[in-house]
């Protein structure tokens, strides 16, 4: 992390209406780092977790001058003496994430690395960053999307705006659905569809996303899929689906919005997973899962609330 001084006034401007209140004099006050609890210093932008019972005590003891807090933390005389600044927000962790993304993360430059091999018919917005060693077929890529090194996009892949594809991921392979002939020979059904990925999607490293058989595999806006996942042919992930890694969705699975699928899960082909569902890690899902439920286990079953 490169240290650079961020003025508290710039953070206040960035938070805008999400800033419920400010305590302390922030004139000429800056932060220059974020840190885990063992490494907080005077110029760290610290935050107080609202789940802690003793938020006030933690805030009093933080070595940091500037803290993101909820309204449960009050501005004490001791804080005033130390010149502390409290930025009051509803969800300090979420706001910290957004502040880090805005001020502490370097945005990649729009650039197709000269070592990337790009099909001459690809339609790539000039704001896109494509890393070294990528191999890019006849695809469409929207504004602000970042493709990290050694990614392979086959033909007929469409990626929207502001997406991030981590290194080594392969998008648009054939699926491998087969029929057996009488003598056991496997005949693969060729795949003629594509993959359509929406906006603000992130996909982790070394994944495989297969194209559809005759129509497209669909990953809608806001989905976040971590590394080593395999999304097979004709799946449709609606918006804001979160998959935390090493999970396989077999073919033609429909996942409805705002669902979370934890790691190393396998879901049977042609299943429907409802809205706001949670699937526990290591689950083997063999049935449709209704909206709002939590399923876990092998085979996965509904987890009743206790």
- 55 vs 148, which CB is nearer to a second copy? 148
Contact (Cβ atoms closer than 8 angstroms) between residue 193 and residue 175 = no
- 30 vs 189, which CB is nearer to a second copy? 189
Q: Does 168 bind a second copy (CB under 8 A)?
A: yes
Contact (Cβ atoms closer than 8 angstroms) between residue 173 and residue 210 = yes
123: burial class by Cβ within 10 Å (0-12, 13-18, 19+)? exposed
Q: Does 91 bind a second copy (CB under 8 A)?
A: yes
The Cα–Cα gap between 111 and 113 comes to 6
Q: How far is the CB of 42 from a second copy (least distance, A)?
A: 16
Return the residues of window 5-44 that contact a second copy according to CB under 8 A.
34-36, 38-39
Interface pick for a second copy out of 13, 82, 111, 176 (rule CB under 8 A): 176
The Cα–Cα gap between 33 and 47 comes to 12
The edge-to-edge listing of strands for the beta sheet with 135-136 is 117-118, 135-136, 152-153, 170-173, 208-210, 230-231, 248-249, 266-267, 284-285
> Is 39 a residue of the active site?
no
**How many binding residues for a second copy (CB under 8 A)?**
89
Which pair of structure tokens corresponds to residue 88?
């009051």
Residue 155's closest CA among 141, 171, 170, 138? 138
Return the residues of window 122-161 that contact a second copy according to CB under 8 A.
131-133, 135, 148-150, 152, 154, 156
Q: Does 213 bind a second copy (CB under 8 A)?
A: yes
Q: Does 272 bind a second copy (CB under 8 A)?
A: no
Q: How far is the CB of 126 from a second copy (least distance, A)?
A: 22
Backbone CA torsion sign across 251, 257, 259, 263: positive
Return the residues of window 42-71 that contact a second copy according to CB under 8 A.
none
Q: How far is the CB of 137 from a second copy (least distance, A)?
A: 9
- 16 vs 184, which CB is nearer to a second copy? 184
Catalytic one of 39, 113, 191, 233: 233
Which residues are marked as active site? 233
């Amino acid at each position: 992390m490169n240290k650079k001084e961020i003025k508290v006034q710039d953070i206040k401007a960035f938070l805008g209406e999400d800033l419920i209140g400010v305590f302390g004099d922030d004139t000429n006050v800056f932060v220059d780092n974020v840190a885990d609890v063992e490494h907080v210093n005077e110029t760290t932008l610290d935050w107080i977790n609202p789940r802690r019972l003793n938020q006030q005590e933690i805030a009093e003891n933080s070595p940091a001058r500037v803290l993101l807090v909820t309204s449960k933390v009050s501005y004490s005389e001791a804080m005033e003496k130390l010149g502390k600044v409290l930025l009051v927000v509803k969800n300090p962790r979420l706001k910290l994430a957004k502040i880090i993304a805005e001020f502490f993360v370097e945005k990649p430059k729009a650039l197709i690395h000269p070592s990337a091999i790009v099909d001459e018919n690809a339609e790539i917005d000039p704001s896109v960053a494509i890393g070294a060693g990528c191999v890019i077929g006849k695809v469409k890529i929207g504004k602000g999307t970042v493709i990290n090194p050694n990614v392979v996009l086959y033909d007929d892949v469409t990626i929207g705006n502001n997406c991030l594809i981590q290194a080594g991921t392969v998008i648009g392979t054939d699926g491998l659905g087969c029929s057996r002939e009488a003598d056991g020979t496997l005949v693969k059904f060729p795949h003629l569809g594509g993959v359509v990925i929406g906006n603000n999607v992130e996909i982790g490293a070394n994944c495989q996303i297969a194209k559809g058989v005759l129509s497209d595999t669909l990953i809608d806006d806001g989905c976040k899929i971590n590394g080593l996942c395999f999304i097979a042919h004709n799946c449709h992930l609606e918006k804001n689906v979160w998959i935390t890694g090493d999970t396989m969705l077999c073919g033609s699975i429909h996942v409805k919005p705002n669902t979370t699928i934890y790691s190393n899960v396998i879901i049977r082909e042609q299943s429907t997973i409802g809205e706001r569902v949670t699937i526990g890690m290591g689950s083997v899902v063999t049935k449709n899962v209704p909206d709002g439920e939590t399923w876990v286990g092998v085979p996965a079953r509904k987890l009743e609330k206790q």
